[in-house]
Each structure stands twice: as C-alpha cells, then as structure tokens.
C-alpha cells in the first residue's frame, strides 16, 4: 500500500520548479515590443504619411527687363473694339453663305445671299407702275398742247369779235384743268420711281455684305435656314450670318483694383504678355481709363493698345500686363539676369530673403537675392535660383530642411 502511495506522489508536478521567475517572464516580452515599435515607426514614417501638402511654383526666365521695372501688374483679355454680327434687314431664307471661319473679307464683300424671288417680283411691279405713270403723263402733256392751241385760237377770234366769250372761257378752263393734271401726273411718276427705288433696295438687301474689312470668326447660318433681324420664337430663325472682327482694333482690357488705379495714367507704357506666348513681350500703352468703377469687384477697367500688330494676337486671348514706371527703358527686349517666381514663395527673416526649394520630394532652404518690391504678383530673383527650379508657394504645415512634401 505504501509502495503505491509513493509511486502516485512521484507522478505529481512541482509547479514552483516549472514556473520561471518574474524577471524571466519580462525578457520574453522584449522581442514582441521591439517588433511592435518597429512596425509603428515604419507606419508613421513611410513615404507620403508625414509629407506636408504644399503648392508649388516654377521659376521662369523673365522675357524682358519690364518684369523688374513695372509699378503694377494686372491680367485681362484681348478684345476687339470693332466687331459685328452681320445680319439682314429683312426676313428671308438663306440661299448661300460665301464665307468660312478664318476667312479675311473686305468692306462691301458679299458674305451671303437670301432668296429674292419675291423682291424681284416687287421690282417688276414697281417698274410697270412707273411706266404706266409715265405713259399717263405723256398723254396729259399731249392733251395740254392741244388745249393750249385751242385756247390761243379762241383768243385770236375773240379779239376780232368772231367768237363768244363763253367759248373762250371754256377753252381757258380746259387748259387749266389739263395743266393741273400734268402736275399730278408728274407727282405720280415721282412716286412710282420712288417705289421702284424701294423695291430695288429691298432686292439689294437680300445680298448681305461685310460692313467693314476684317476676319470672320464664326459662321452662324447655313443654306436653307431662315434669317431675321430680330429673334423669332421657337429658335428656328437665325439672327446673324457670321461675326466679323476688325483685327486692327484689337486691344487689351484689364480690371485694376481701385486701390492701385493711381499708378495708371493715359499714355503710360505697358509691357504685355499673352498666356499663349509667355516669352513674347509686346510693347503697348494705356489708351484710356474708363471713368467708372465696378462696385461689385472694386475695380476700374483700363484699355491698353498694342504698339505693334501681329497675326498671333487673337480675340479673347488671356494676357498679363506690366505697367511701367517713368524710369522704365524704352527698349523692352533687353535680357535680364534672374528668374521670376510668385511673390508668396519668397519669405524673409533676420537672415534675409529665402525660398523653400523642392528637390526629390523634400525641401531645402535657399537664400536668394531679389529685385523690386515683394508686393507685386511675381518677384525677380537675381541670385539663388535657376530657370526651372520648383519652389514652395504655400504649405499646410511647418517646413524644415529635409522635410518631405507632396502636391495634390
């Protein structure tokens, strides 16, 4: 019996000997904690998670010295001072359109013809009426000549007491009546000729001509469509054949903030740049300042005329202008050293002006030298940047050297 009890006791597990100490259990958790920390660190610092969202700008070469000498910058559009949508004076059906977009036309050139069958018939009727009136006038003139002869004969006979006074009075009255009819006949002829002229004018109106020389920029009607000088209900009637723009009347209109309008004067030199040709500097000047302000936008409209004409300038093109100061050079095509960047990209502190240059997705602080005021839209950077460099214009977080950045 005792032998069995001893054997059963030998099978029990000593829990104190099998369980490690507290310090031993802590070291078993270290690898797990390290793995979690490494994964968390990688998750937080993986590319794109800690990058600051920024708006960038690209440094570009200024097309002329005007970029550094302007007193005010503005943007606007090329507009035509002289343009017209050519229509007809009368409602009619279009027979043919003789112009296409991009075609140059001269003043008086035929651009379209309308169906003129009715007008031709009216001309024929008016001419027939005029011929009838002229024939009636010729008949009255013949009768008047006969009445004049009869009156003169009776006067001679009355002087010799060979006829009665009543006969002479009757001849006189007949002559006067025919003379009055002659005046009426002449007026009828004039009225008939006027009707002919009106009918011919209506016929001529069925041929539509260019009011001035220019470029056709749109074709609005096709053969078979109805055209009218006024808009008709239903949308089936055209109100114009084509639109013609006088390319010699192109100018730039810009809206200048009324707070800076004192910097603009009539005749002031302007350097204009088209958005389509950013490296082409166009000499221009202020034509006029429109004497009214827009209370909604707090701006004043300024008209700017080109000093040089070029076929590359088209209506409705976007344009940027630099109003030059009195010290601006006459020649605008001189090369200048430096690049243009947005004024927001240039920052200043105790060390001087600097920019955040973006390279490889990270930023670096770059000290720069500028020319001109930072209050303008773009600033000329003379040192520290090269053409094509990308700089931070605005950032949605703090920047530091080596900071990762991203753009939308």
- Claim to verify: residue 256 and residue 280 sit in the same structural domain: yes
- Which of the given ranges, 5-19, 232-246, 260-274, has the highest pLDDT on average? 260-274
- Claim to verify: residue 105 and residue 238 sit in the same structural domain: yes
pLDDT band at 10 (very low <50, low <70, confident <90, very high): low
- Claim to verify: residue 232 and residue 164 sit in the same structural domain: no
pLDDT at 136 over 90: yes
pLDDT band at 162 (very low <50, low <70, confident <90, very high): confident
pLDDT at 48 over 70: no
- End residue of a domain, out of 193, 220, 243: 243
* C-beta of residue 86 within 8 angstroms of C-beta of residue 262: no
Give the Cα separation of 135 and 57 in Å (integer). Answer: 87
pLDDT band at 330 (very low <50, low <70, confident <90, very high): very low
pLDDT value of position 315: 92
How many domains in the chain?
5
pLDDT at 395 over 50: yes
- Claim to verify: residue 348 and residue 219 sit in the same structural domain: no
pLDDT value of position 122: 94
pLDDT at 229 over 80: yes
Asked, for residue 194, whether it belongs to a domain, the answer is: yes
Question: Which residues in 87-211 belong to E strands, given as ranges?
Answer: 92-97, 104-105, 110-114, 207-209
pLDDT value of position 33: 62
Domain with 359 in it: what CATH number? 2.40.420.20
pLDDT value of position 59: 87
pLDDT value of position 183: 93
Comparing 41-50, 254-263, 391-400, the range with the smallest average pLDDT is 41-50
- Claim to verify: residue 342 and residue 399 sit in the same structural domain: yes
Q: Average of pLDDT values for 355-360?
A: 91
Q: pTM for the complete prediction?
A: 0.58
pLDDT band at 43 (very low <50, low <70, confident <90, very high): very low
Q: Average of pLDDT values for 134-162?
A: 91
* Cβ neighbours around 113 below 10 Å, total: 17
Q: What percent of the chain has pLDDT over 70?
A: 80
- Claim to verify: residue 224 and residue 106 sit in the same structural domain: yes
Domain with 293 in it: what CATH number? 2.40.30.170
- Claim to verify: residue 214 and residue 105 sit in the same structural domain: yes
Asked, for residue 392, whether it belongs to a domain, the answer is: yes
Domain that holds residue 58: 52-65+337-406
- Claim to verify: residue 178 and residue 222 sit in the same structural domain: no
Per-residue CA distances from 241 to 95, 96, 100, 355 (Å): 12, 10, 10, 55
* C-beta of residue 168 within 8 angstroms of C-beta of residue 155: yes
**Mean confidence (pLDDT) of the chain:** 84
pLDDT value of position 81: 93
pLDDT at 49 over 50: no
In degrees, rounded to 5, the angle at the alpha carbon of residue 110 between the alpha carbons of residues 207 and 251 is: 120
Asked, for residue 330, whether it belongs to a domain, the answer is: no
pLDDT at 233 over 60: no
Give the Cα separation of 232 and 236 in Å (integer). Answer: 8
pLDDT value of position 7: 60
Q: Is 366 helix (H, G, I), strand (E, B) or coil?
A: strand
- Claim to verify: residue 123 and residue 199 sit in the same structural domain: yes
pLDDT value of position 407: 83
- Claim to verify: residue 229 and residue 342 sit in the same structural domain: no
pLDDT value of position 38: 58
pLDDT at 150 over 60: yes
Radius of gyration of the chain (CA): 47
pLDDT value of position 244: 95
Asked, for residue 220, whether it belongs to a domain, the answer is: yes
């Amino acid at each position: 019996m005792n032998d069995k009890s001893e054997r059963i006791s030998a099978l029990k597990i000593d829990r104190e000997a099998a369980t490690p100490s507290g310090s031993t259990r802590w070291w078993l958790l270290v690898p797990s904690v390290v793995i979690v920390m490494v994964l968390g660190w990688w998750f937080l610092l993986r590319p794109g998670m800690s990058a600051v969202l920024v708006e960038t700008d690209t440094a570009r070469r200024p097309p002329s010295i005007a970029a550094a000498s302007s007193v005010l910058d503005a943007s606007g559009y090329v507009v035509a001072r002289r343009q017209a949508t050519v229509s007809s004076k009368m409602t009619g059906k279009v027979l043919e359109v003789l112009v296409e977009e991009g075609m140059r036309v001269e003043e008086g050139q035929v651009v379209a013809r309308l169906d003129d069958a009715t007008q031709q018939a009216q001309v024929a009727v008016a001419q027939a009426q005029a011929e009838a009136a002229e024939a009636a006038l010729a008949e009255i003139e013949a009768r008047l000549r006969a009445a004049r002869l009869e009156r003169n004969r009776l006067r001679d006979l009355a002087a010799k007491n060979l006829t009665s006074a009543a006969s002479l009075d009757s001849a006189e009255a007949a002559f006067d009546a025919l003379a009055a009819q002659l005046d009426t006949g002449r007026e009828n002829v004039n009225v008939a000729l006027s009707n002919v002229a009106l009918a011919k004018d209506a016929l001529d109106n069925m041929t539509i001509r260019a009011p001035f020389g220019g470029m056709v920029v749109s074709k609005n009607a096709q053969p078979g469509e109805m055209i009218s000088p006024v808009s008709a209900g239903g949308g089936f009637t055209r109100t114009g054949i084509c639109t013609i723009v006088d390319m010699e009347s192109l100018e730039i209109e810009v809206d200048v903030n009324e707070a800076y309008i004192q910097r603009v004067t009539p005749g002031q030199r302007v350097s204009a740049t088209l958005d389509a040709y950013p490296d082409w500097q166009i000499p221009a000047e202020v034509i006029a300042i429109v004497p009214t302000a827009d209370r909604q936008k707090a701006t004043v409209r300024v008209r700017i005329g080109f000093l040089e004409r070029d076929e590359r300038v088209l209506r409705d093109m976007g344009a940027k202008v630099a109003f030059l100061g009195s010290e601006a050079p006459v020649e605008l095509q001189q090369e200048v050293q430096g690049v243009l960047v947005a004024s927001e990209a240039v920052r200043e502190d105790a060390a001087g002006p600097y920019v955040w240059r973006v390279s490889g997705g990270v930023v670096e602080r770059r000290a720069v030298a500028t020319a001109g005021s930072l209050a303008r839209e773009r600033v000329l950077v003379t040192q520290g940047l090269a053409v094509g460099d990308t700089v931070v214009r605005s950032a949605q977080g703090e920047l530091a050297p080596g900071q990762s950045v991203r753009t939308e």
